[in-house]
Amino acid sequence: RAGCAVDHRLAIAFLGCLEAREAFDLFVSTLAYMRTEHQRQEQSRLQRFARLGCDLAALWCNAGFRAQMAQIEAKAKWTQTLKLLGVPCDHSKLFDCGDTLKSSGRSGQEKELAQSSLKEARLDYARTILPLVAAGARFDRSLVAAFGEDLGLSDAESVTLWAEACLLARSGSPLEALHQELIRLPRNNVEGLLVGRVLPLVSPYDYGRIGFILDLAVHHPDTMGRKQVLRLLQTYRRSSAPSAEELAELEVRAAKLAEMRLPSAPQEDIAETHRLVSQRLPWHRLAMASSPEALWSVLASELTSSQGVEDLLPLCVPLGLGQDDFYVRALGCCGGTAGGEAKTKHMEDLLLCIQDFRKAWDAATALEERAPLGPEKVAIAKVRLQLLKNRTQGSPLWGNDVDSELRVMLEGIEQHVATMETRWDLARTGLSIFDEVLTRGDPRACIACMYYHFPMLLYWPDGEPLSPDSDATCEADALLRSARAMGVWGLHSLVDVVCARHGISTKQLRHHLIEQWLRNPRWKPEHSPAILARAEAALLQLWDGTSSSVAGSSAALAVGAAKGSDQGQASSGSDTRPGHIFRQTPVERLCLERATVVACTRQRRSQDVAKDLREDVKTRCVFLLRIVFTKETSVPYDAKCRALAVLFRIGGHEDIAAAYRNPVAELREIWKLYYYMDTFEKLGVPQDFKRLYQCNKAGLARSLWRQHQTDPKMVQVVVALCLDFSIADSRFWASLLASLRSLRLFGFLGDVLEALHERPSPGLPHEPALVTALTELLAEPTEAVRAWCRERRSGCSDAAPASAVLLPRLALLLRRDAFADEVGVLEVAQTLLQGAQSQTLTDVALLQLQGAVFGRPSGSIGQELSGQALADCRVKLAGLALEFALCHSPGEEVDRFFSEDLAGRSPGLLLELVPRSAAAGRRLLLRGILARRGLLEEARRRLPEELFQELLDCAVATRDLEEVLVAALRGEQFEQASRLLEQFVVVHGLGSRSPLGLLLSALDASEDDLDVDSNPADGAGCLLQLFRTLAPRPELAGLLRALAQRLREEVAP
């Protein structure tokens, strides 16, 4: 059997003829030779010789010798086979563990223990090699069985190892034969092999192989649920990337496969795994999860979309999860991710799918608390409301009084949802500063607070920070931008939405706020943002220093407001002089702006809106008129006046007429009378309205004048009556102006003068008494300014005279009156010009003088000590001096003022005043510039192009061409010089002569010039005289010839 049958039998026969001992020694010596190093490679011969030894042992009935020969035969055979299969092997571990033929000298027990240990080590190594043998033999079951049998492995163990190698190999394994082989094994062994050993090493993404293993382990108690998980995962496509933990587990599995040393199996498996990892979920981490947290760590990233939840929801049954818990977990997975509307809708659906109310409520509450203010937070709050509504329909018992408790909860959550939506509206419109007011109070308080502060934001000065606190500057600037971008209509739209959400009538709320502010201008909401409260105080302080008073009276303000003018804004609220009773305080002004903002109409066509919601122009006008004509016992006259002011701001003439159904002029007259009724009440002289309406206003004014000449407030009322009712009695006006001057009411007096200037009626009749009054009135500030300037030069530091504020208003008034020459306007002009030209006044004194004249707040003087501010101050004073000079009739005195006082002493002021002066004054200034040699080049640099062209036109008109022509020649601007000559010809004419002929005549000194009339009054004579003046000058001779050449080229065909 070891080789040729004849040789084998012949060898047995020969050795059988010998004595047993002799034959044994011969065989052993031969075996020793064959196992030498020289013969070690002859494994085939050794195998046949060992087979011969087995037969001899049988013949000699020596079982031990037979076992040793069988082991040598197996070693030789598998050494050759493993070499052919390419299986790396350490033969000393596999075969040489216990085949020593000679005794080792140990005792029998020690020898037995050593042999048992060596045998177990050999078996362990055989178990390690068997998968490699199976892979090398292409999983030939018979070869693997022979290997196991020869190496001492049981049939069941060899089948198990072969099946494990087949299942873990990527290709070439006979999976179809596995079932038949595994049937022969006990069920426990099979399930232990498949579930305990093989399944954990299979790729978690190889669903096909996992399914095959589960089919083999059909009797395992977990197989049914695991197969359901597998079927669900086979139809699902992964939507998220694998986690780092998942990839780490793949690395661990690859290391375990590498330890098994299956040829090329780990590399193939890893490549396939990386291909599938982006498409499939790991089956092991779901079906064989060690804990629920491990399971959710896989599903978390897949449950962020509605489709993912819908596809993975069936996993609840095989994994033993509750559907509500699944939804709650899914909510936790998507609560911190971004996704916009899709994510919000997904969360809403999940919450509504939870059957257990308490779990749904707790989950929604937790999500709402974590979510930032925005659409997601609002949507979750709405879901909470829906959950509670669904709960009330189910009517489970919550307590003794279920209905009342649920009703209270439902009302509370409805209010909470509405508040949340309103907070989000405030945030996205940039008005989140009112969020605290909303949460502390109610929507009405928040709306009142917004309407209260909104006008302040609209009127806040550009470039000024809303808050001095640097930490709040960004927030404040954003609030300003948002408010101005929103505008009044945007605010009304926001309020409409908020009111509709909270069940508030916008019409009633706005009417309540309007009436509240009309009755009490100082009413303010209980809670206001601190930053806005400080900003309001700053704005009121600013207006207190820059607002203008009513021109004559607040009745005049009413008329001005009806015309849409700003006549009632006033100039200096910090006036500490005798009270200006018609001054509109900053608080009242801001209150009027608030009421106007709230009263702005919401619809243009009333027929499209229900009556209880209608807020068109007519509805608003009717509401305001009801306030106006309510009895004075219910609505005071000052509130009526404010209502009329708002009425004329929001409605046009036709709108007011349609609502009033009477002439609008009559309503204006009533407004004027209401104002005086309020004024008389405040002064302690109440009047009857009907009697005031019917009485002669001139007689009333004289009566009040006779009784209250020394009362500053009543004198102001008398003056206002004369203004508002056009009382044109010059003698009476003279007495009133003198009284105002003596009472030192300069602020009010300035407003009166401005009103007299702006009144549309003709001026006051010429009366000596009025001329005297105006002369004294003009002399008062003039002498005061002159004296103050002298005192400042001597070191006195008193404030500038208060009467100086009259000067700008007197200049406006006197320009319309024929008797301006009689009141000494040129003296005033000289005084102001001397102040502007003075080099002895300090910078602070100069700025104080400007503040006194033009009403600038003195508190800002210390901040304006700059070169530009001082230059502007001098220009403004010189400009006012120019206005007074222009009030005088044209003549030598005015010309002397311009040529000597202004141009002679301060030529630099001429260029500064030109852009700021009207046409009449500008012509005189331009003539002064032409008269000053050296100013022309500076004028070319500093004046705008159109004003410099006007200067050239003035030079042509006045025949004063020398300076401008020389400047053009020196700059080699021959084109401009040519245009000047052409313009001169057009304006003055040259008869039969041309500019070229006159120029050549002057240059060549020819006899032709004798025929020309050199009379300067004639155009040609004036131009020839100019050329004769310039021609002898050496530096101009060449330039004049170049100009002549240019003129020759222009006239050439």
- Going by pLDDT thresholds of 50, 70 and 90, the confidence category of residue 261 is low
Give the DSSP per-residue string, 973-1015: -HHHHHHHHHHHHHHH--TT--HHHHHHHHHHT-GGGGGS---
Query: Could you count the other beta carbons within 10 Å of the beta carbon of residue 776?
Result: 15
Say whether 540 sits in a helix, a strand or coil. Answer: helix
d(CA 8, CA 2): 7
Please state, in angstroms and rounded to a whole number, the distance separating the CA atoms of residues 884 and 107: 144
| Position 1010 pLDDT exceeds 50 | no
The arithmetic mean of pLDDT across residues 821-849, rounded, is 75
Tokens standing for 617?
A: 């122009």
pLDDT of residue 823: 65
pLDDT digits (tens, 9 = 90+) for 483-519: 999 999 999 999 999 999 999 999 999 999 999 999 9
Judged by average pLDDT, the poorest of 234-248, 378-392, 655-669, 887-901 is 887-901
Task: Output the pLDDT for position 509.
Answer: 94
- CA separation for the pair 692, 679 (Å, rounded): 13
Closest CA to 388 of 400, 373, 402, 367: 402
pLDDT band at 542 (very low <50, low <70, confident <90, very high): confident
The tally of CA atoms less than 13 A away on the side-chain side of residue 1 is 9
Of the pLDDT bands very low, low, confident and very high (cuts 50, 70, 90), residue 649 is: very high
Closest CA to 966 of 1029, 891, 883: 1029
Helix, strand, coil share of the chain (percent; to 5)? 75, 0, 25
The whole-number average pLDDT for the span 813-826 is: 67
Torsion of CA 730, 733, 734, 735, to 10 degrees: 130
C-beta atoms surrounding 392 within 10 Å: 15
Least Cα distance to 641 among 653, 658, 624 occurs for 624
Rg (CA), the chain: 57
> In Å, how far from its chain's centre is CA 179?
69
The model's pLDDT over 180-236, given as tens digits with 9 standing for 90+, comes to 666 666 766 677 777 777 778 788 888 888 888 888 777 788 888 888 988 998 889
- Kindly report, residue by residue over 676-689, the tens digit of the pLDDT: 999 999 888 888 88
- Is 88 exposed, middle or buried, given 0-12, 13-18 or 19+ CB atoms closer than 10 A? exposed
Q: Where are the beta strands (DSSP E) in 878-1003?
A: none
State residue 812's pLDDT score: 74
Specify the amino acid at residue 800: A
Q: CA nearest 590: which of 657, 532, 635?
A: 532
pLDDT at 338: 58
Q: What region does 134 belong to: left with phi over 0, alpha with psi -120 to 50, or beta?
A: alpha
- Between 114 and 374, whose confidence is greater? 374
Q: What is the DSSP letter of 529?
A: -
pLDDT (tens digit, 9 = 90+) per residue, 123-145? 788 777 777 777 777 777 788 77
Q: Residue 336: which pLDDT band, with cuts at 50, 70 and 90?
A: low
Residue 553 near residue 697 (C-beta atoms within 8 A)? no
Q: Mean pLDDT score of the chain, rounded to an integer?
A: 78
pLDDT beyond 80 at 434 = yes
CB contact at 8 A, 213 and 232: no
d(CA 319, CA 292): 9
Q: For the ranges 98-107, 303-312, 598-607, which has the lowest average pLDDT? A: 98-107
Cα–Cα distance, 638 to 588 (Å, whole number): 11
pLDDT digits (tens, 9 = 90+) for 401-410: 556 777 788 8
Whether pLDDT at 334 is above 50: yes
pLDDT at 38 (0 to 100): 53
The C-alpha atoms of residue 695 and residue 273 are separated, in whole angstroms, by 107
Over 70: is that where the pLDDT of 552 sits?
A: no
For residue range 764-804, list pLDDT tens digits in order.
777 788 888 878 877 788 887 877 877 776 656 567 788 88
What predicted TM-score, i.e. pTM, was given to this entire model?
0.68
Q: What is the pLDDT of residue 505?
A: 92
Q: In terms of Cα–Cα distance, which of 845, 736, 859, 735 is closest to 801?
A: 845
Residue pair 42/80 in contact (Cβ under 8 Å)? The answer is: no
Q: Which residue has the higher pLDDT, 399 or 67?
A: 67
Q: What DSSP line would sit under 467-491, residue for residue?
A: -S-GGGHHHHHHHHHHHHHHHHHHH
* Contact of 159 with 182, CB cutoff 8 Å: yes
Share of the chain above pLDDT 70, in %: 82
Between CA 643 and CA 745, with CA 584 as vertex, the angle to 5 degrees is 140
Using 50, 70 and 90 to split pLDDT, how confident is the model at 992? low
Give the residue among 94, 97, 8 at the shortest CA–CA distance from 50.
8
Q: Which helix (H) or strand (E) holds 119?
A: helix 108-136
Cα(793)–Cα(865) distance, integer angstroms = 19
Structure tokens at 1032: 């002898």
pLDDT value, residue 203: 81
| Percent above pLDDT 90 for the chain | 12
CA-to-CA distance for 176 and 532, rounded, in angstroms? 83
Contact 767, 730 (CB under 8 A): yes
Cα(413)–Cα(391) distance, integer angstroms: 13
Distance CA 523, CA 544 (A): 19
